[in-house]
Amino acid sequence: MINLNIKTFNLLILFLFLVFSSCKKNVAGPQGDKGTPGGKGNLKQFERTFTVYPNSWTFNGGWYANKIYFPEITSDVMLKGEIKVYMKIGTQWWSLPYAVGSVFMEQSTQPGLLHLKYSKIHNGPPPEPLTTVFRIVVFSPV
pLDDT in tens, 45-104: 889 999 999 999 999 888 999 999 988 888 888 888 899 999 999 999 999 988 888 888
Q: What is the pLDDT at residue 120?
A: 87
Query: What confidence tier does 2 reach under pLDDT thresholds 50, 70, 90?
Result: low
Separation of alpha carbons 1 and 6, rounded Å: 9
Dihedral sign of CA atoms 66, 109, 47, 87 in order: positive
pLDDT in tens, 15-36: 777 666 666 667 777 777 887 8
The average pLDDT across 2-20 equals 72
Q: How far, CA to CA in Å, does 90 sit from each of 38, 94, 133?
A: 37, 10, 10
Query: What confidence tier does 115 reach under pLDDT thresholds 50, 70, 90?
Result: very high
Q: What is the pLDDT at residue 7?
A: 78
Q: What is the pLDDT at residue 24?
A: 65
Q: Are 78 and 111 in contact (CB under 8 A)?
A: yes
